[in-house]
């Protein structure tokens, strides 16, 4: 049986190979006394949930340029924040982002709690995010377990029980490796290890600082891990999206309810999404069904939207939604599925 890996070996590797992130205080900076900004750590961790680092960089940079502090974000207009979030997906995160910022601003004098127990009380902050902020921002020895860490731990200890059932076991094992010295750097180091060396396919075991302690590497099972329970096929839902353009160029948009998918986001009026949705045009018009279907995949289902378009006169009033002037309309402010609808239909000029 191989010895458990040592955090010092990983930290030495991280000191030379840490990824550069716009929200990260690197190991050399940290050791010279630079203190991470909890606001930037929190913002990045919320954005990174179920989203890639590459996708988040642009959004993060834009957010901190518009709202440099948690107090600035707390005072921002909801619609402005939701518009800047458009395209990142999982829009409940954006709603919770605002809720959390306002609690920190109004109830905590703009200061994030510096412990796991305090952080997890905030809106939208779960066990992973609380541990990440506590360790990275405040150097608390909290155990951070994301998908990269699960993969590393399952291989280091050669755990063959499938995820997600094995998550508690992997978390317990990860906790045995979390050091009291430099826990913030260690949390980022093990995530970097999973992202750059211990990758899902073709891991670079020869470059790994833990290769001498990795039980899966010794057994030759690293490519089999982590095991995952069989996926259940996602159901399909259907709907109709209505794209109406007024003769002056204004577009008919509707803000979705705060709860549910795309909550609080502007988009095209649609029917309910289900097996056989009933037509529900938002304005009286000669609707034309386009020869295109927009497909979008959410976490739990595939959505297929039939698209109908119409041009309407100036005096026509909608039953749902509001017209947005052409100068104020920006497709980039729409969530991804609504942007797909816009790109799929001829609404740019009169037919």
Residues carrying an active site annotation:
45
Give the pair of three-digit tokens for residue 31.
Answer: 């050791």
What's the gap between Cα 7 and its chain centre? 28
- Using a 10 angstrom Cβ sphere, with 0-12 exposed, 13-18 middle and 19 or more buried, the burial of residue 26 is middle
CA distances from 248 to 137, 251, 255, 323 (A): 51, 9, 21, 10
CB neighbourhood size of 195 (10 A) = 17
For residues 313 and 336, what is the distance between their CA atoms, to the nearest angstrom? 28
Tell how strand 251-255 and strand 322-324 pair up: antiparallel
Q: What is the four-CA torsion angle of 19, 22, 26, 30, rounded to 10 degrees? A: -160
Give Cα 33 distance to the centre of its chain. 30
For 125, the token pair is: 């902050």
> Which tokens belong to 231?
């996926």
229 to 36, 128, 148, 226, 351: CA distances (angstroms): 37, 21, 17, 10, 50
């Amino acid at each position: 049986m191989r010895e458990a890996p040592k955090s010092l070996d990983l930290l030495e590797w991280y000191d030379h190979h840490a990824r550069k992130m716009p929200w990260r205080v690197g190991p050399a900076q940290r050791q010279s006394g630079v203190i991470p900004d909890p606001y930037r750590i929190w913002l990045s961790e919320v954005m990174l949930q179920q989203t890639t680092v590459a996708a988040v960089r642009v959004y993060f940079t834009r957010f901190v340029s518009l709202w440099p502090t948690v107090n600035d974000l707390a005072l921002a207009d909801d619609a402005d924040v939701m518009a800047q979030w458009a395209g990142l997906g999982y829009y409940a995160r954006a709603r919770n982002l605002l809720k959390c910022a306002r609690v920190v601003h109004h109830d905590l004098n703009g200061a994030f709690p510096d412990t796991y127990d305090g952080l997890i009380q905030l809106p939208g902050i779960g066990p992973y995010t609380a541990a990440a902020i506590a360790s990275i921002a405040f150097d608390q020895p909290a155990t951070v377990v994301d998908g990269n860490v699960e993969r590393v731990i399952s291989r280091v200890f050669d755990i063959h029980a499938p995820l997600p059932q094995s998550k508690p076991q992997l978390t317990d094992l990860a906790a045995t490796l979390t050091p009291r010295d430099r826990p913030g750097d260690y949390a980022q180091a093990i995530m970097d290890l999973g992202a750059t060396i211990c990758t899902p396919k073709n891991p670079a075991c020869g470059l790994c600082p833990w290769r001498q302690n990795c039980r899966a590497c010794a057994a030759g099972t690293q490519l089999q891990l982590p095991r995952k329970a069989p996926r259940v096929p996602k159901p399909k839902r259907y709907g109709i999206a209505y794209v109406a353009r007024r003769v002056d160029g204004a577009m008919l948009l509707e803000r979705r309810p705060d709860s549910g998918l795309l909550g609080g986001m502007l988009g095209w009026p649609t029917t309910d999404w289900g097996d056989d949705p009933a037509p529900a045009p938002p304005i009286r018009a000669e609707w034309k069904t386009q020869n295109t279907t927009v497909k979008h995949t959410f976490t739990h289902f595939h959505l297929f939207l039939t698209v109908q378009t119409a041009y309407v006169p100036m005096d026509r009033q909608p039953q749902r939604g509001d017209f947005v002037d052409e100068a104020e309309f920006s497709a980039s402010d729409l969530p991804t599925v609504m942007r797909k609808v816009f790109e799929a239909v001829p609404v740019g000029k009169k037919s």
